[in-house]
Structures are given as structure tokens and as C-alpha cells.
Amino acid sequence: MKKKLKRIALALPVLFLLLQLTNPARTNPPVKRDFIVAANPPAEVAATIRAACYDCHSHETQWPIYSRIAPSSWLVVADVNDGREHFNFSDWPEDSTRAAKKLDRVNEVLDYKEMPPKKYTALHPEARLTDVQRKAVMDWTEAAADKLRNSTNN
């Protein structure tokens, strides 16, 4: 029994080291059209969105140390890739109708408190939104979307 435990104890670090060879690529492709530059939200709204959203929903991801260590790296990279696929602040549309729809989507996920997810804010307290921050972003996105819709109707 002791011999078996000793083998397991020796095999686990080797297995951990071998897992490091399977890390997925952590990429930050070039930004096509940045939301903050294109939409020009107020500074506090921009700062809130950058802190709460940009790591998973832009090409400006700040990769934490645990994103380099398997098996957590697999989860982090998958979450970022999934987040970018669903909504990407680094590929903001020029078309005002599409931009208004994206702003509506931001408002919707914040209203339902779907974003930022708890598993992210648990490790990133700076991404936790207060009710005041959430309301400020929602008020601005709603007004900005309305303005974009009105500009296309005129």
C-alpha cells in the first residue's frame, strides 16, 4: 500500500508538468473598431465597462497567471473565446442599427444581472458592479441606443 501511494505521489507532479504542454493559445488579435473610441461613453461608464467586460469581451484581455497553468488555462481560454464570439467590444459595428442592438444587449444582460458572471467576479473584485455603476451603464446605453435609432430614422 505504501509503495502504491509513493508511486502516485511521484506520478502526480509528472502528470501536472505534462499537462502544461497542452495549454491553449492565449491570443489578443488586433482591435478592429473599439467600442470606447467609437461610442465615446462618459469616462465613468467607459471605466466600468472596461473593468467588468473587456477581459472576456474584447481583444484587450489581461491574461492572469492562472490562465497559463493547466488545467485552469483551458477554462479561461474557452471562456474568453466564447465571450468574444457572443459579444466583442473590439469589433464594434459602424452601422448604427447594429450598434443600437448591441447597446440594447448590454442593457439587457446588465438588467438581468447575467453579466459579469459570478465565477469571474469571484476572482476579479474590480469587475463587481455596484447598483449605481450598473444603473449608470444601463442609462447611458439606453440613451445612446435611442440616439442611434433616431439618427437612422431621420
Domain boundaries, the chain: 2-153
Residue 3 has pLDDT above 90, yes or no: no
Closest CA to 148 of 106, 108, 94: 94
Map residue 130 onto helix, strand or coil: coil
Residue 16: its pLDDT value, please?
67
Residue 148: its pLDDT value, please?
94
Q: For residue range 83-132, list pLDDT tens digits in order.
A: 999 999 999 999 999 999 999 999 999 999 999 999 999 999 999 999 99
pTM (2 decimals)? 0.86
Which helix (H) or strand (E) is 144 found in, with range?
helix 131-153
The cell numbers describing 100, all together, are: 443600437
Residue 117: its pLDDT value, please?
95
Residue 71: its pLDDT value, please?
92
Closest CA to 115 of 131, 100, 128: 128
Do residues 124 and 55 make contact, with C-beta atoms less than 8 angstroms apart? yes
Q: What is the mean pLDDT of residues 32-43?
A: 97
Q: Taking the mean position of all CA atoms in its chain, how far away is CA 84?
A: 7
| pLDDT-above-70 percentage for the chain | 95
Strand partners, 91: 33
Amino acid at 110: L
